[in-house]
Amino acid sequence: MEEIVFPNQIRIHRKLRGVSMQDLADKLNISLSAISKIEKGYRRLNQEQLISVAEILDCPLQELYVNEQNSQQEVVLAWKKEQERRQEINKSSGLKVLGAALRYIRNDKSLTLIEVAERADMTLSVYHRIEMGQREVSDKEYKNIARALSMELDDLKAEIKRLDEAGALEEIITHNDTKFKVNNMNRMIVEHNSYIDIEALKIPVFGISGIDGSIIVDKTSSSKEATKPANLFEKRDVYGVSLCTRRLGSILSNRAVMFVAPSEVASVGDIALYYKNEQEAYVVSVREDEAGKLYGLMWNPEERIYFSNDDFNKIHKVVDIAL
């Protein structure tokens, strides 16, 4: 769950303790740019990272939050101004409508979540929450998303309004609401451990970094375990793979886990693992060229892997990602 939005007092406590931005970035295993965005309130922290920051800076967790009693006046004023601005941005369309419209437009442009997040200078987690209607956006983020979709901001707002008035978003909103409820149920089951045997839902996670951005998936050797998300409880063939490739840049943490279902068919727009051989795999986005031929797109640098008719058993669909 994301905690700190805007702004925070990390910078103050970091300077008080003589910790450099680079030191903090190294200890959190994230980039220097990410730390800068976190301190400015443009990027969020999850609960695990938030606790780590408090431990590194040796301060109580609650002191990292902005509050009117303990924070500097200019920080509080900036916080209030940002909240007012975000409320104004989201007033006209509503978070659910905004998220559903962004998903509709993204799909219409045949773009993946990862591509839009990267172009908008966001983490996948943040952008996914926006599309789910579970997170507000700042004016800067709104502009970045419009740019990522190759649209002018005013044109994007007009298209969102048009889609809403045409009733084109109702199905997506319903889908998002259902998925959000399922994920909440999953968290409740995991937290309370009262409905099912959690141990039975744990699956091994494979994967070490290979050459040229590949992942070596040796299913005889597992380094850790992960718990299936609620939407995958009934899928028996799912396995976990560590996202240890850097071909995705910094858009996803190398601690993320992909849940892979080899029995599911990967369609255009899906993320998948393409197995070059029995153990060496690449993370790809399934695409279709002008001639209708399917290929897998890899990133950093962009590279196409065209699929043959014999390759489809080598393409394992990624059905969920745990960040």
Torsion region of 303: left, alpha or beta (phi above 0 gives left; psi -120 to 50 gives alpha): beta
Question: Of 37, 63, 82, which marks where a domain is finished?
Answer: 82
Query: Is the pLDDT score of 81 beyond 70?
Result: no
Do 69 and 158 lie in a common domain? Answer: no
- Regarding whether 76 and 120 lie in a shared domain, the answer is no
Dihedrals φ, ψ of 193, to 5°?
A: 50, 45
- Asked if the model's pLDDT at residue 251 lies above 60, the reply is no
Percent of the chain, pLDDT > 70? 76
Note whether 78 and 148 are same-domain residues: no
pLDDT at 219 over 90: no
Average pLDDT, the chain: 78
User: Does residue 230 sit in the same domain as residue 270?
Assistant: yes
| Same domain (yes/no): 300, 223 | yes
pLDDT of amino acid 313: 85
Strands, E, within 184-253: which ranges?
202-206, 208-209, 215-216, 224-227, 239-242
Q: How many CB atoms lie within 10 A of CB 118?
A: 21
Q: Provide the 3-class DSSP secondary structure of residue 281.
A: strand
Same domain, 303 and 237: yes
Q: Is residue 124 one of the residues assigned to a domain?
A: yes
In a domain, 189, yes or no: no
* 103 shares its domain with 77: no
Q: What's the rounded mean pLDDT across residues 191-205?
A: 59
SS (H, E, C) 48-100: HHHHHHHHHHCCCHHHHCCCCCCCCHHHHHHHHHHHHHHHHHHHCCCHHHHHH
| Residue tagged 């990267």 (tokens) | 118
CATH number, domain containing residue 215: 2.10.109.10
Q: Which residue has the tokens 């101004």?
A: 81
Q: Is residue 118 part of a domain?
A: yes
Answer yes or no: is 61 within a domain. Answer: yes
Question: How many whole angstroms separate alpha carbon 43 and alpha carbon 25?
Answer: 14
Domain hosting residue 169, numbered range: 92-179
Distance from the first to the final alpha carbon of the chain: 10
> Of the candidates 82, 106, 134, which is a domain's last residue?
82
131 CA to centre of own chain: 11
Does residue 38 or residue 239 have the better pLDDT? 239
Instruction: Dig out the tokens for 152 from the structure.
Output: 């002018």
Residues 62 and 108 in one domain: no
How many beta carbons lie within 10 A of that of residue 21, not counting itself? Answer: 18
Question: Is there a domain that residue 188 lies in?
Answer: no
User: For residues 68 and 46, which has the higher predicted lDDT (pLDDT)?
Assistant: 46
Q: Check whether residue 78 and residue 118 sit in a common domain.
A: no
pLDDT digit string (tens) for 103-114? 899 988 988 888
State the pLDDT at residue 196.
Answer: 46
Provide the number of structural domains found in the chain: 3
Supply φ then ψ for residue 191, to 5 degrees. Answer: -70, -40
Q: Residue 185 domain-assigned?
A: no
Is the pTM above the cut of 0.85?
A: no
What is the pLDDT at residue 280?
93
Q: Tokens for 129? A: 């929450």
pLDDT for residue 321 is more than 60? yes
Q: Is 73 part of a structural domain of the chain?
A: yes
Whether residue 250 is found in the same domain as residue 279: yes
CA of 86: how far to CAs of 6, 94, 104, 126, 146, in Å? 11, 11, 22, 15, 16
Q: 27: domain CATH number?
A: 1.10.260.40
CA distances from 276 to 214, 240, 262, 307, 315 (A): 9, 18, 15, 11, 9
**172 or 209: which carries more pLDDT confidence?**
209
Domain end (from 82, 109, 142): 82
Query: Comparing 116 with 1, which gets the higher pLDDT?
Result: 116
Write out pLDDT tens, residues 261-274.
Answer: 988 888 888 889 99
123-140 pLDDT per residue, tens: 887 888 888 887 778 888
Strand pairing category for 303-306 and 224-227: unpaired
Confirm whether 214 is domain-assigned: yes
> What is d(CA 203, CA 206) in angstroms, rounded to the nearest whole number?
10
